[in-house]
């Protein structure tokens, strides 16, 4: 305990000194987003929509996808414009056109939109952060009642946010204009098309062109596959001198043997330009290792998961942790869903990232994984969508729902090539089950997603301040975990208020649904016992429902901030949160599938992976 106090006091003193030193006026700095925007390959208009592409080799990234365009403020009708880039066969005539995109008039949808609409007026803190190189929604400053669709479209200085729509309704309004009507937030994506290739060789040392071989459905590998020359651009170095991805020796990567899903579009010369990559081997429902003994699982978490990390540079690992299970792999079937606990580490080596106020590097968030049938190979694979509670940042990563390719695999702003990452997929039926109590339906996973969507929408505009910021007393950890805890708590209170459900549970004590529900409540109790004392979640969250850690940017003085640091230092350590939540699920007999990457892709010898760590367990 003495060591803890000494550490926290030293950390606090260091922060106070840093604040005193940096309290002078902030010089205007560039952002990574601005650096990237200097490249023509970074812009949407570099990829004409009407360029033909070989549909035998490439498939649309989604049935409906396109680019959001922030509309002129209109108080009579709220909408954004949507440049259609992919559409189903019945609406192919819309591809290349700009249509209106608006929210459904459904009461529940409109209640959600109203809750997360804000008058946006940048605070001094937001302006100062923007000046320091973080990307804030500057085009929204001064707008009234900005809704979550507008905050997504206006999150960046340019109209370059691409999304996929989930089952939109197509309508024609009174003016004869086409409208797409949605009832849930679009998912951020990258690229218009996706293919599966094995990289053979760079064309020449001065070029970003590579010869690749496409997957052959007949041979079920890359033998006798169609060859093509495409572009894997070397992206520019960021403000720290580190390129977010490298194409150097990418053909020598251990992941290349099983191929890469490549996301992108063709340029005017009909050359396919890669914008994001996914290592196929990482997502196959075929783990490299299976651990079933409880003690071995605990040893894996303690020693192996992040062990010898520098020696693992460029490599990946997939491990299934299934306590006391037989035929563990076969239990993951088509359609199964899992909770994703995401954590990334730091960048070391010659170009190590600058030290921050955090004692350890890392970022924590949740997501949802689903076992799907791959459209190209017909094999089972994981499809992951993150729900990133993400503060404003130099990369212009936007808080919200993102595909793995958009968040991790992006060559321009993804973390696959620069940071070590652990995604823990938690298969736990009490959370993934859709309950039906004599017509009263409950879906914990759906409720959790809605909770996260609301939080991420608020983060995009900082609850109207224009800024969501990591501070010495707040991080992504608290608000992400608060969403999980409050979801279970809300469901428990809802059931207690419904005599019909209580009666059903009493009359069906041995029903599988009853057992799952009881386990769900047990999980909520475990989360409360473990995470509330640590300060990671708040037991009094209902009394402070409007308060988020990341958007409550009060301009505290140095002494106030120091006191808050002393109280909350444990809550801002991402690895601690992942460790604690993973162990809670293990105790509940959940099955965990770990996806670990260590700067995968092309080789950059100026950086090394640094494991996220926690202290004073």
| pLDDT at 558 exceeding the cut of 60 | no
And the tokens for 172?
């024609």
107 within 8 A of 114, measured Cβ to Cβ: no
- Tell me if residue 230 falls in helix, strand or coil: strand
Q: How confident is residue 53, by pLDDT bands cut at 50, 70 and 90?
A: very high
Burial category of 443 from C-beta neighbours within 10 Å (exposed 0-12, middle 13-18, buried 19 and up): middle
Please give the radius of gyration of the chain, using alpha carbons only, rounded to the nearest integer: 24
For residue 60, what is the enclosing H or E element? Answer: strand 59-60
Domain-embedded: residue 52: no
138 within 8 A of 462, measured Cβ to Cβ: no
Domain-embedded: residue 49: no
pLDDT digits (tens, 9 = 90+) for 499-510: 999 999 999 999
Mean pLDDT of 333-339: 97
| pLDDT at 615 exceeding the cut of 80 | no
| pLDDT at 572 exceeding the cut of 90 | no
| pLDDT at 10 exceeding the cut of 90 | no
pLDDT digits (tens, 9 = 90+) for 436-465: 998 999 999 999 999 999 999 999 999 999
| pLDDT at 54 exceeding the cut of 90 | yes
Domain-embedded: residue 81: yes
Q: Write down the pLDDT at residue 459.
A: 95
- Tell me if residue 257 falls in helix, strand or coil: helix
> Which is more confident, 477 or 331?
331
Mean pLDDT of 286-302: 94
| pLDDT at 545 exceeding the cut of 60 | no
State the pTM of this model: 0.92
Buried b (16+ CB within 10 A) or exposed e, 413-438: bbbbbbbbbbbbbbbbbbbbbebebe
| 27-36, 441-450, 467-476: the lowest-pLDDT one | 467-476
Q: How confident is residue 609, by pLDDT bands cut at 50, 70 and 90?
A: very high
Q: Write down the pLDDT at residue 13.
A: 47
Domain-embedded: residue 112: yes
| pLDDT at 493 exceeding the cut of 80 | yes
Domain-embedded: residue 120: yes
Among 401, 162, 404, 413, residue whose Cα is nearest residue 280: 404
Mean pLDDT of 586-591: 93
And the tokens for 315?
């490599």
Q: What is the mean pLDDT of the chain?
A: 89
Mean pLDDT of 507-530: 93
Domain that holds residue 100: 62-188
Among 453, 452, 526, 524, residue whose Cα is nearest residue 495: 524
Per the structure, the count of domains in the chain is: 1
| pLDDT at 473 exceeding the cut of 70 | no
| pLDDT at 477 exceeding the cut of 50 | yes
Q: For the chain, give the number of residues.
A: 617
Domain-embedded: residue 322: no
Number of other CB atoms surrounding residue 150 within 10 Å? 25
Q: Write down the pLDDT at residue 542.
A: 62
Domain-embedded: residue 612: no
| pLDDT at 596 exceeding the cut of 60 | yes
- Tell me if residue 570 falls in helix, strand or coil: helix
Whole-number percent of the chain with pLDDT over 70: 87
CA distance 147 to 125: 22
Which residues have C-beta within 8 Å of that of residue 617, sequence separation ≥ 6? 576
Domain-embedded: residue 118: yes
| 259-268, 466-475, 481-490: the lowest-pLDDT one | 466-475
> Which is more confident, 182 or 548?
182
Sign of dihedral through CA atoms 92, 95, 100, 106? Answer: positive
Q: Name the pairing type of β-strands 227-231 and 440-442.
A: unpaired
Q: Write down the pLDDT at residue 341.
A: 97
For residue 363, what is the enclosing H or E element? Answer: strand 363-373
| pLDDT at 530 exceeding the cut of 60 | yes
Whole-number percent of the chain with pLDDT over 90: 77
Q: Write down the pLDDT at residue 124.
A: 95
pLDDT digits (tens, 9 = 90+) for 235-253: 999 999 999 999 999 999 9
């Amino acid at each position: 305990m003495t060591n803890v106090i000494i550490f926290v006091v030293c950390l606090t003193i260091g922060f106070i000194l840093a604040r005193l030193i940096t309290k002078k006026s902030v010089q205007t700095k560039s952002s990574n987003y601005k650096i990237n925007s200097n490249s023509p390959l970074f812009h949407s208009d570099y990829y004409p929509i009407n360029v033909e592409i070989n549909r035998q080799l490439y498939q649309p990234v989604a049935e409906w996808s396109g680019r959001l365009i922030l509309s002129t403020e209109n108080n009579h009708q709220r909408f954004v414009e949507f440049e259609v880039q992919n559409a189903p066969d019945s609406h192919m005539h819309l591809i290349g056109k700009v249509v209106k995109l608006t929210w459904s008039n459904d009461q529940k949808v409109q209640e959600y939109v109203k809750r997360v609409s804000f008058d946006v007026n940048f605070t001094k803190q937001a302006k100062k952060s923007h000046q320091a190189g973080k990307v804030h929604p500057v085009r929204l400053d001064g707008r009234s009642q900005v809704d979550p669709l507008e905050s997504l479209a206006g999150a960046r200085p340019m109209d370059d946010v691409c999304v996929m729509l989930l089952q939109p309704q197509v309508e024609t309004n009174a003016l004869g204009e086409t409208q797409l009507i949605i009832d849930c937030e679009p998912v951020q994506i990258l690229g218009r098309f996706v293919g599966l290739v094995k990289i053979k060789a760079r064309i020449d040392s001065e070029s970003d062109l590579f010869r690749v071989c496409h997957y052959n459905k007949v041979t079920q590998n890359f033998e006798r596959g169609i060859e093509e020359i495409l572009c894997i651009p070397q992206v520019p170095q960021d403000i720290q001198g580190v390129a977010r991805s490298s194409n150097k020796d990418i053909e020598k990567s251990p992941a290349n043997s099983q191929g890469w899903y490549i996301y992108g579009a063709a340029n005017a010369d009909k050359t396919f330009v890669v914008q994001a990559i996914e290592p196929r081997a990482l997502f196959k429902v075929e783990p490299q290792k299976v651990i079933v003994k409880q003690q071995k699982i605990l040893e894996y978490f303690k020693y192996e998961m992040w062990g010898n990390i520098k020696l693992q540079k460029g490599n990946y690992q997939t491990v299934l942790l299934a306590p006391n299970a037989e035929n563990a792999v076969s239990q993951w079937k088509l359609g199964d869903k899992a909770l994703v606990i995401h954590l990334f580490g730091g960048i070391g080596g010659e170009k190590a990232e600058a030290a921050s106020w955090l004692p350890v590097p890392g970022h924590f968030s949740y997501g949802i994984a689903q076992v799907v049938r791959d459209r190209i190979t017909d094999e089972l694979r994981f499809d992951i969508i993150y729900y990133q509670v993400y503060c404003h940042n130099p990369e212009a990563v936007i808080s919200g729902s993102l595909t793995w390719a958009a968040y991790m695999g992006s060559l321009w702003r993804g973390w696959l090539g620069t940071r070590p990452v652990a995604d823990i997929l938690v298969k736990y039926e009490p959370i993934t089950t859709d309950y039906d109590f004599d017509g009263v339906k409950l879906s914990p996973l759906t409720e959790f997603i809605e909770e996260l969507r609301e939080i991420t929408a608020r983060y995009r505009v900082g609850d109207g301040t224009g800024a969501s910021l990591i501070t010495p007393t707040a991080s992504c950890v608290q608000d992400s975990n608060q969403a999980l805890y409050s979801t279970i708590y809300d469901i428990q209170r809802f059931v207690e208020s419904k005599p019909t459900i209580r009666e059903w549970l009493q009359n069906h004590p041995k029903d599988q649904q009853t057992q799952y529900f009881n386990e769900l409540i047990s999980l909520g109790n475990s989360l409360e016992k473990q995470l509330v004392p640590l300060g990671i979640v708040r037991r009094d969250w209902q009394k402070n429902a409007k308060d988020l850690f990341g958007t409550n940017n009060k301009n505290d003085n140095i002494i106030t901030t120091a006191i808050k640091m002393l109280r909350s230092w444990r809550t801002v350590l991402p690895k601690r949160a992942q460790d604690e939540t993973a162990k809670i699920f293990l105790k509940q007999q959940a099955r965990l599938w770990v996806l670990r990457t260590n700067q995968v892709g092309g080789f950059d010898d100026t950086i090394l992976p640094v494991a996220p760590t926690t202290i004073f367990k």
